[in-house]
Amino acid sequence: MKTNKGDANVKIVTIKKSKSSGVHFILRSIFIFGCFFTTQVHAQNKNSEQLALQKIAPNLIIITTDGLRWQEVFGGVDTSIANQNKFNHGDSAYIAKKYGATNADERKKKLLPFLFSNTSLQNNSNSNVINNGNGKSIIVFGDRNTNNKAAVENPHWFSYPGYNELLTGYADPAINSNDYKPNPHSNLFAFLNKQNAYQGKVAAFGAWDAFDRILNEKVSGFPVINAFESITQVLSDPTSKMLGNLLTDSYKPFKEVECLDVFTHYQAMHYLKTKQPKAMFISYGETDEWAHHGNYSNYLDAANMVDKWIGDIWNWVQAMPGYKDNTYILLTTDHGRGFGSAWTDHGADVNGANATWFAIIGPPALNSNAKELFGKPLITNAQTNTIYQKQLAATMAKLLGIEFTADHPIGNPIY
Ligand SMILES: [Zn+2]
């Protein structure tokens, strides 16, 4: 279970009391008004400069689905798991009907149709680069059957260390518990929130209640809405109120620690449409929770639903001026899980639970940054032939045309 585990240019003018004459008073008033006016003009220039920057800067959405295995991402339903009574709970027919197919290619398209349908694999020596000609370019990486290896570098293989590695670019081994204190390391979103083009246009939504700490909401300076926190903390329209009420009164199979993904998704989606952030994090949790419960059909359904929602997000993006052909989505996970019957578990003692995967989705009309990413083999570690989770933050920043820097070491971009 998860539970185990540039300042404004404001000038302050102090006016000393004095026995000034009327003329002095008028002159002083003109002077003060002049200062005020100049400050206003500066502020307006800065504002319009910032607005212009915000218009053209690329947008970023990082999405995670907790602990979804690469085995299902690239192979679809695993029949050796689906056929066991203790995992199918007596309803293998449901799983077979919905996700069954004769080969891995068809099975993965049934499980994750947005990622894999209508796609053709390009010849690329080390990565699954896909152009589907359907309004998107995709890299899907981490299929160990074709020697694409993605992994967490941290030694723990559970959630907080994994999300820390992804979001800060630093696989700090000292972060060794899901109950770890507010993250001492700065993350990519906090960094973006300090850049002119992204300032005040950053938000995070997560199903799990640890994201307030993982993203250190108190020091990061952008809203982190997680678990049973309502969107009404930041929006007060009727839809937000309804979403908040539904969340509060919803079924709580994971108690107070984590809400069902549907609430996280619709709160995030409503925020995206209403506030139009330029950098956003959305984290879904059910894939991990149902795996720990040993419920394979719920695990598959959760993954299938996340795929559908990413399609919804992408379709909204591609219909919206400012986002269309100017938005990158990273989809990934925080850790892997065991092989075969050990699929329910993860952690340092579970063989294979360091293995991850990721997908990067970008516009079809590629700019120069994206051409490099989607057009060439990815750079893997020379010794291990692996791409590490700590490299994704700098990679996504590079796609935005920004170098991500912090007080800690950051993994290199993968292109
Ligand atoms: Zn877990």
pLDDT range class, residue 342, cuts 50, 70, 90:
very high
Closest Cα partner for 330 from 294, 365, 369, 357? 357
Distance 337 CA to ligand 1 centre (A): 9
Distance 333 CA to ligand 1 centre (A): 11
- The domains of the chain are located at 25-56, 60-399
pLDDT range class, residue 139, cuts 50, 70, 90:
confident
Fill in the DSSP letter of residue 258: B
Distance 173 CA to ligand 1 centre (A): 18
- Which residue(s) pair with 59 in the sheet? 327
Distance 160 CA to ligand 1 centre (A): 10
pLDDT digits (tens, 9 = 90+) for 98-118: 999 999 989 999 999 999 875
Distance 289 CA to ligand 1 centre (A): 6
**Protein residues within 5 Å, CB atom, of ion ligand 1:** 288
Per the CB < 8 A criterion, the answer to whether 324 and 318 are in contact is yes
Check residues 286 and 121 and name the one with the higher pLDDT.
286
- Given a cut of 50, whether residue 11 has pLDDT beyond it is no
Instruction: Tell me, letter by letter, the H, E, C secondary structure of 122-185.
Output: CCCCCCEEEECCCCCEEEEECCHHHCCEEECCCCCCCHHHHHHHHHHCCCCCCCCCCCCCCCCC
Q: What pLDDT is recorded for position 33?
A: 54
pLDDT digits (tens, 9 = 90+) for 161-215: 999 999 999 999 999 999 999 999 999 999 999 999 999 999 999 999 999 999 9
| 3-state helix vs strand vs coil in the chain, percent to 5 | 45, 15, 45
Distance 345 CA to ligand 1 centre (A): 7
What is the pTM for the complete model shown?
0.89
Q: What pLDDT is recorded for position 39?
A: 60
The whole-angstrom separation of Cα 350 and Cα 124 is 32
CATH number for the domain whose boundaries are 60-399: 3.40.720.10
- Given a cut of 60, whether residue 304 has pLDDT beyond it is yes
Token duo for residue 25: 């008073």
pLDDT digits (tens, 9 = 90+) for 45-81: 778 888 888 889 999 999 999 999 999 999 999 999 9
Give the type of residue at 343. W
The whole-angstrom separation of Cα 376 and Cα 385 is 16
Which residues lie below 8 Å from residue 359, measured CB to CB, with a gap of 6+? Answer: 115, 138, 139, 140, 141, 329, 330, 331, 332
Distance 2 CA to ligand 1 centre (A): 5
pLDDT range class, residue 128, cuts 50, 70, 90:
low
Q: What pLDDT is recorded for position 1?
A: 47
Distance 25 CA to ligand 1 centre (A): 70
Q: What are the phi and psi torsion angles at 54 (to 5°)?
A: -65, -30
For range 263-291, the mean pLDDT: 98
- Given a cut of 80, whether residue 3 has pLDDT beyond it is no
Distance 121 CA to ligand 1 centre (A): 32
Distance 33 CA to ligand 1 centre (A): 61
Q: What pLDDT is recorded for position 10?
A: 34
